[in-house]
Structure 1
Amino acid sequence: MIRILGINAAILLAGLVIAELIFGSWIFGPSWGTMNIPRDVRRIFDVSGLYGGPQDAVYTRDHWGLRGSYKDLGAIDILTIGGSTTDQRFVGDGQTWQDYLAQDLGGKVVVNAGIDGQSTVGHLRAFDRWLSQIPGLKPRFVLAYIGVNDAHLQGQQQWDDMASPSLGRRVERYITNHSALVQVVSTIQGTLKAHKAHVVHGGTDVPRGPWIAGHPPALDKTGDVALLDAYEQRVAALMGRIRAMGAQAVIVTQSRSDYRVTSTGEPLGRGASPQSVDFGSWAMQTAFNHRAMAACRREGGICLDLGSGLTFEDGDFYDWVHTTPPGNRRIAAWLAPRLAPVVGQ
């Protein structure tokens, strides 16, 4: 009996090894290394504590780590890159701003390649370590929704490196990125298990008005010039990476929930005292946004200053920077008429 069990175990082990070699990527296929790219995942997040609407948000990413529907990697109209405000982990499939943008553009194929926590430092590495390894990926446009994480770049390095600083975690990711069996188990677990949203999303109360006008600071006296210069250089480099893959670059700036911008571009803040209005976040973010637009114009991209042009409303954010489905509808409605002439209806 022991001999029979041993033979059966050996046959099973040999079968698993053969299956891993055939269906995994140990020998053939792209080498994903230790990258922290969610792939072949279907997760259900309980978002009842973040914003109104359905309790569960279904979050899926495919074998290549992309989010959204497409039939052909070579026929993607718009590929979006960015951090968590692009990824939108706690917004369900069908309710991201990419989903709404595709609808508003008459069914154009808009695919999401956002990575939670990344700044432009990570986006540059993503082209070298991830996107370049997706066979046949040829989007017509790459839309970079950027600026929020770069304004808070310190402490983001582990996400920009696209690998965990922990050796154990890197080994785990290496196995996960190459093993077919682990991918199957992870997919099943993700389908069956519900997760609570992380505290970095929704960890603070959403700022509310009253929003009042005042005397905002001069932007040329706002922020660290060295950090702003470095950001402008990274945006230019990012556009070079986009052109190198045969796509046209679209640079889109961002806003935050702790201030408002009117339809004429006038900032509104909250009263810090009877005699002053708090414009600190507006000044910091707008300084970075202006540098992105300067790099974009200089490099000949499609430059959309959403941060200064879109008026958000209460209920559009569920924390400082992450938008709700209604906020996503507003983003798409602002982008669509500006992109339609170049993307085509």
Structure 2
Amino acid sequence: MAARTSIGRLIAINLGLLLAGLFLAELVFGSWIFGPSWGTMNIPRDIHRMFDVSGLYNGPRDAIYSRDKWGLRGAYRDLGAIDILTIGGSTTDQRFIGDGQTWQDYLAQDLGGRVVVNAGIDGQSTLGHLRAFDRWLSQIPGLKPCFVLAYIGVNDAHLEGQQQWDDMASPSLGRRIERYITNHSALVQVVTTIQGTLKARKAHVVHGGTEFARGPWVAGPPPDLDKVVASALLDAYEQRVEALIARIRAAGAEAIIVTQSRSDYRVTGTGEPLGRAKAANSVDFGSWAMQTAFNRRAMAACTRANAVCLDLGSGLTFEDGDFYDWVHTTPTGNRRIAAWLAPLLAPLLQ
């Protein structure tokens, strides 16, 4: 009986020492007391995941999606020597596009090896981009990009249902508690990193549904943009873009505002819209009109603020196969985006 008691006491002592060691490790290596306070933010960090994208677009079956401990995506050596930091929603984040195939990756190549880093967050609109500076990007020590490129417009045209991403926190209390522990615990981060590295999670994904990028595309009289979207919504968006430019400058960078396009219409090299034919000899320009209305307001705010204004939505002609759903581009589409942006950005980086 005495021997059993001694063994039990020894186990209890060792267990106590282990727990004390783990507690000390959490205090030293976690961010409960020291380091950036990530709170309950839904920022993917320290992840390395593999997605099966064979059902989305042609190319390699597996797409590897990585973000570092700061929640950034892309290669860089020094947080203080980033040429361009990109912000935006899922079309910037590109969760189902593999590392090395995002438009940021191709843009860095086309710019001769300039450092282009991705800070896109799936689902965010300009509301979330504004909050990201205070709740996330300002928490990254030494982050000093020369330019911040905002690839914006699609999510702002569909703000409903995006509140948790713009708030950067889940509406669920349980999820917020989970994120708080994950964002501060060193041990959880170690386990997550090992899981992601040694056993990447695979998933058959349907990001936005079926490929809608097929014509035939036809011309026709486009609708009056002033009658497509309520002026109050456009006014509010224009004000947010102007505020975003001011926030970027307050962070010590210059703003680059880039508009977006969609797969369910085309724009010619001269800026003429092409839609899909409907009944009664009419053409569907609904998506073009809505997106263009928002894009024009972004350019108006950008011009007024004397920032760098690039109307990709009206200036880039996409082709079939450039999108895998309504708004998300394939690696082929990403090459086209980078090729359009690079010659316009190169003079700014000299």
Query: How far apart, CA to CA, are the structure 2 residues paired with 1:209 and 1:66?
Result: 36
Q: Tell me how far apart the structure 2 counterparts of residues 155 and 304 of structure 1 sit (CA, whole Å).
A: 28
Partner of 1:194: 201
1:194-273 aligned at under 5 Å gives the runs 194-199=201-206, 201-273=207-279
**Once the two structures are superposed, what CA deviation does each residue of 1:62-105 show, in whole Å capped at 9, x if it has no partner?**
01000001111000000000000000000000000000000000
Q: Secondary structure at the match of 2:56?
A: coil
Structure 1 residue 48: deviation in Å?
Answer: 0.7
1:102 match: 108
One-letter amino acid of the structure 1 residue matched with residue 289 of structure 2:
A
Contact 1:46–1:194 (8 Å) recurs in 2: no
Report the Cα distance in structure 1 between the residues aligned to 2:280 and 2:226, rounded to whole angstroms: 26
Query: CA contact under 8 A between 1:30 and 1:134: conserved in structure 2?
Result: yes
| Alignment match, 2:3 | none
Q: Following the alignment from structure 2 to structure 1, what is the Cα–Cα distance between the partners of residues 220 and 65?
A: 41
Q: Deviations over 1:287-344 (max 9, x none)?
A: 0000000000000100000000000000000000000000000000000000011112
Aligned match of 2:4: none
Distance 1:156 1:272 in 2: 31
Mapped partners of 1:120, 1:204: distance in 2: 27
Equivalent in 136, 141, 148 of residue 142 of structure 2? 136
State the match for 2:291 in structure 1.
Answer: 285
Counterpart selection for 1:117 from 116, 123, 129: 123
Deviations 1:196-244 (A, max 9, x none): 2543x13233241000000100112221111100000000000011000
Question: Are positions 1:146 and 2:146 aligned together?
Answer: no
Instruction: Map 1:22-41 onto structure 2 (within 5 A).
Output: 22-41=28-47
SS in 2 for 1:89: coil
Change (3 A) 1:114 1:197: farther
Unaligned runs of 5+ in 2: 1-6
Q: Which residue of 1 aligns with 2:58?
A: 52
1:13-42 per-position Cα deviation (integer Å, ceiling 9, x unaligned): 111111111111011000000000001110
Local SS of the residue matching 1:194: coil
* Superposition CA RMSD, Å: 0.9
The percent identity for this pair of structures is 80
Secondary structure in 2 aligned to 1:303? strand
Q: Distance in 2 between matches of 1:128 and 1:198?
A: 32
Greater Rg by CA: 2
- Which residue of structure 2 aligns with residue 5 of structure 1? 11
Report the number of matched residues. Answer: 343
**Which of 156, 162, 174 matches 1:168?**
174
Please, what TM-score do these two structures have when normalized by structure 1? Answer: 0.98
Give the equivalent residue in structure 2 for 1:315.
Answer: 321
In structure 2, distance between residues paired with 1:94 and 1:193: 17
Q: State the distance in 1 between where 2:134 and 2:61 align.
A: 37
> Any gaps of 5 or more consecutive residues in structure 1?
none
Q: Is the 8 A contact 1:257 1:320 kept in 2?
A: yes
Q: Decide which moves more: 184-193 or 173-182.
A: 184-193
Q: SS state of the match for residue 121, structure 1?
A: helix
Partner residue, 2:308: 302
Displacement of 1:274 in angstroms is 4.1
CA distance, structure 2, for counterparts of residue 272 and residue 222 of structure 1: 18
- The residue type equivalent to 2:173 in the other structure is L
Letter of the 1:170 partner, please give it. Answer: R
Question: Contact (CA 8 Å) 2:51, 2:205: kept in 1 or not?
Answer: no
Q: Which residue identity does 1:69 align to in structure 2?
A: A
Distance 1:22 1:100 in 2: 39
Q: Verify the 8 A CA contact 1:141 1:250 in the aligned structure 2.
A: yes
Q: Is the 8 A contact 1:147 1:253 kept in 2?
A: yes
How many angstroms apart in 1 are the aligned matches of 2:258 and 2:349? 15
Corresponding residue number in structure 2 for 1:81: 87
Moved over 3 A (4+): none
* Contact persistence 2:53–2:205 (CA under 8 A): no
